[in-house]
Structure 1
Amino acid sequence: MSAPASTRCVSKSARGTCSGVDRLSSLPSELLHRVMSFLPMPEAVRTSLLSPSWRYLWASTPYIRINHHDFTDDNEKMEKFGDRLLLLRDSTASLDEARIIDHSVASTTCTVWIRHVIMHKVRHLHVSGLGHLDSSAVPPSNHLKTIRLQFVILGDGLLRPLNYDCRVLQLLQLEDCVLVDLKEISSRSLKVLHIINCLITGSLLICASNLTHLSILDMHSHSGAILVRDLSSLVTAFISVRTIEGHGLLDGLSHATSLELHAPLLERGLWICPMFSNLTSLVLGHCCMAADFDALLCILQRSPKLKELTFKLERVQCIRCMHSESTLPPSGAALS
């Protein structure tokens, strides 16, 4: 028995329309690129098999993503895919984002990929797990706005182009990285800098006159220190380090209007505490507190515009109190 006409029409519309028109392919390429952005890159490339109108659509997508998770640990297949993806992509198409996530392909190959996308005017670059990157990995760019590096070993000279050769860079994020003799992060355009859970092996100077937001969280140091200079535009800062002694951090943060600090202050000579002329909001962690509150008093005396003071104190339970709580009868129980 044949299906009702309405059912037959719905079945056809699942493939296109009742008239046989391919409505999906008739959508603007910008919208199709948006749909493809939710696909892993290999699947986005496979859309070229759908129809002649889709054959080269992937080559003009405004993003590039090379992810080792898409290749089930097949390093050779991933390397060939990455090479051909960059080679066959439409070089005239705009490139908004490039993500390279890898833990196995040779760093020299990844360096070539990074240089390729930067030279093709990528605006947002995210690199994760590539091991050691040499100084040639980041060439000059007048288009690069954000750089995010994760699980990367950074050597001296890698970020040297930031000051004069990456003139529109606004955000730099280093997370879970090792900074091997990386002497300086200097940029006149940088506005946001995040250094998260990184290890530094030497002293690091941060110099960014237009920086407005600074985060240094869970930093580990063998023998070096972080020094800051010329942060005259700083608005907010979030600092969480094991010690502030040896760092020129407080001096560099003196222009901030909002400051959150998790670092022992007792180790610093209070007589050189800077004047926080713009500070209106201050958040202090438990490690900033000393028994005599001298460090806190010093900061308060040097913060004439301070309006809000917040303490974030960790709860430390006494073993005796915990034992007493465990022996209490449940709520509502009768006492004998």
Structure 2
Amino acid sequence: MENALQRSPIISKLTCGVCYNVGGEDGDRLSNLPEPIIHHIFSFLETIDVVRASAVSRKWRYLWLSIPYLNFNVHNICSNPLERWSLQTTNEKFKDFVNWVLLFQNGSVSIHRFRLSCLNRVDDYTFYRWIAVPIKLPRSLVTCESLVSLKLDFGNREHQGVLNLPTCVGFSRLKSLDLQHVEVLDYNLFREFLSSCPLLENFSPLLENLKMDSCCFPDLKILDISSNSLKSLTLERIEFGGDELDNYKLKIACSNLESFNIFAPLLPDFTLESLNSLQNAFIFLETIGEYMEAKEICHRMSKILNGLRDVKVLKLSCTLYQFLNAILEQRSYFSASFNNLKSLILCVTTAEWTVPLIIRLLNHSPNLEVLTIYFDSDEYYDDWEIPDKVILCLTCHLKTVELIDFSGNENELELVRFLLKNGHVLQKLRIISAIMKFTISSSSVALKFLEPKPFLDFFNRF
């Protein structure tokens, strides 16, 4: 790009009109003007011409880094009319130039004016990244010693604001950090930022609650969160770079973590380590991933189950169930039990694999006391066949069953019959539909009929 930068008629006219030589650059009157005046003069130029000016004078070599006026026009990217670039080449060179200038901008300079003329030459994501001017946190906020809770929300569901992360150490007493709609361009700086909170293991432990919602890491494939102080972690719709959206990884290693919630568009490759204190876990996936092989899906989901086997409250979304059923059926994937599990929350359809999954989950939860089921289905499948078998938790521990959004179809009624017949210590069954005659084995069970609850309760319940 260097030759193109030097071929600028605007720069030639500018320098020839106001400069003279009396033995080198000391006679360059324009270069000797105060910097604010030079900035004002250059504010009338396109940014590409300001950059080209860096080749005219040694004093101007880095001046373009501090200009608070940015003017980009796709029609001016090519200064040589003899170079006949294709439309695609012009667009790519324009995008490269804008990205290059924004990347090297001096973080201490406040942008006064930003002009962008590109018609429909760039995609929406690139466009919104350009106009999302990095937001810098005030030093007084970073170094505030009394700050214990911080929430940063920089955008909306479609686009994030770019966070210009501080380089100084701060947030010495911060215990709760909530980041929403934040785009992080430098992950290493992000780790340093969190470490000053601090989040990383090598620093004094203070941060207890971390939530990241709709945050973007465009150049990251592995999100590693390791802490001895963190007690609550929520990750919602984290975006990673690259085209292979199902190929990102999450590593969670937090020995004192008590609550872990993740809402993800696809199934990530989890690594869950040292979650000995984990009490509550909520795993919700919008979909599994179209291009992932079944074997890889089972492998990833088995890592989730094994990492969560000590939890006391477990909530799972229905997108997991078909493969969970296959995993629980094969001991090579998951041979342990949820021995500490007291409460299980499921959102189910009336598919044919729903009952086998529920039975297998109950068999793997010998000490379960509360079972909550949300029904989410407008379709009716073949009749369920529920085996009449002894399940330890039903015989000895299960005291409360909640059936929410219960429509009263024959499959759901059959499940109620099964629970009432086999729940020997059942004390409470909460349901929203009329109950027909059932055989009840527990003399102390109380049936309660409630108004329908909205489905979103499933997401808010913990």
Measured against the shorter chain, the TM-score band is 0.5 to 0.7
* 1:177 matches 2:215: yes
The 3 A distance-change label for structure 1 pair 287 and 184 is farther
* 1:194 matches 2:226: no
Is the CA contact (8 Å cut-off) linking 2:207 and 2:229 kept in structure 1? yes
| 1:168 counterpart SS class | coil
1:205 is aligned, of 251, 256, 259, to 251
The 3 A distance-change label for structure 1 pair 231 and 135 is farther
* 1:236 matches 2:276: no
Is the CA contact (8 Å cut-off) linking 2:137 and 2:164 kept in structure 1? no
| 2:358 counterpart SS class | helix
Report Cα offsets for 1:14-58 as digits up to 9, x if no partner: xxxxxxxxxxxxxxxxxxxxxxxxxxxxxxxxxxxxxxxxxxxxx
1:128 is aligned, of 142, 153, 157, to 153
Task: State the distance in 1 between where 2:276 and 2:350 align.
Answer: 25
Counterpart of 2:323 in structure 1 is: 267
Q: How many Å apart are 1:224 and its aligned residue?
A: 4.3
Q: How many Å apart are 1:185 and its aligned residue?
A: 1.0
Q: How many Å apart are 1:183 and its aligned residue?
A: 2.5
1:249 is aligned, of 278, 299, 304, to 304
Could you tell me which runs of 5 or more consecutive residues in structure 2 were left unpaired when the two chains were aligned: 1-109, 112-129, 155-159, 242-247, 289-296, 381-462
Q: TM-score normalized by structure 1?
A: 0.55
* Structure 1 segment 158-173 matched on structure 2, within 5 A: 158-159=190-191, 161=195, 162-163=199-200, 164-165=202-203, 167-173=205-211
Q: TM-score normalized by structure 2?
A: 0.41
1:148 is aligned, of 144, 163, 178, to 178
Moved more, 279-288 or 187-196: 279-288
Counterpart of 2:372 in structure 1 is: 310
The 3 A distance-change label for structure 1 pair 120 and 234 is same
The 3 A distance-change label for structure 1 pair 117 and 289 is farther
Q: How many Å apart are 1:150 and its aligned residue?
A: 0.4
Identity of aligned residues (%): 24
Is the CA contact (8 Å cut-off) linking 1:208 and 1:229 kept in structure 2? yes
Q: Residue type of the partner of 1:167?
A: P
Task: State the distance in 2 between where 1:310 and 1:277 align.
Answer: 18
Task: State the distance in 2 between where 1:136 and 1:290 align.
Answer: 53
Task: State the distance in 2 between where 1:234 and 1:178 align.
Answer: 26
Q: CA RMSD in A?
A: 3.1
| 1:183 counterpart SS class | strand
Report Cα offsets for 1:275-326 as digits up to 9, x if no partner: 21100110111269652644333322221111122211114168xxxxxxxx
The 3 A distance-change label for structure 1 pair 292 and 281 is closer
* Structure 1 segment 59-78 matched on structure 2, within 5 A: none
* 1:298 matches 2:360: yes
Q: How many Å apart are 1:105 and its aligned residue?
A: 6.9
Which one has more relative contact order, counting CA pairs under 8 Å at least 6 apart? Answer: 1
Could you tell me which runs of 5 or more consecutive residues in structure 1 were left unpaired when the two chains were aligned: 1-78, 81-102, 319-336
Task: State the distance in 1 between where 2:168 and 2:236 align.
Answer: 21
Task: State the distance in 2 between where 1:282 and 1:238 align.
Answer: 10
Is the CA contact (8 Å cut-off) linking 1:257 and 1:279 kept in structure 2? yes
Task: State the distance in 2 between where 1:169 and 1:147 align.
Answer: 8
Q: Residue type of the partner of 2:235?
A: I
| 1:159 counterpart SS class | helix
Q: Residue type of the partner of 2:239?
A: L
Q: How many Å apart are 1:231 and its aligned residue?
A: 1.0
The 3 A distance-change label for structure 1 pair 117 and 290 is farther
| 2:181 counterpart SS class | strand
Task: State the distance in 2 between where 1:137 and 1:315 align.
Answer: 50
Is the CA contact (8 Å cut-off) linking 1:265 and 1:289 kept in structure 2? no
Is the CA contact (8 Å cut-off) linking 1:206 and 1:229 kept in structure 2? yes
The 3 A distance-change label for structure 1 pair 305 and 224 is closer
Is the CA contact (8 Å cut-off) linking 2:348 and 2:354 kept in structure 1? no
* 1:111 matches 2:151: no
Q: How many Å apart are 1:137 and its aligned residue?
A: 5.7
Is the CA contact (8 Å cut-off) linking 1:140 and 1:165 kept in structure 2? no
Counterpart of 1:220 in structure 2 is: 265
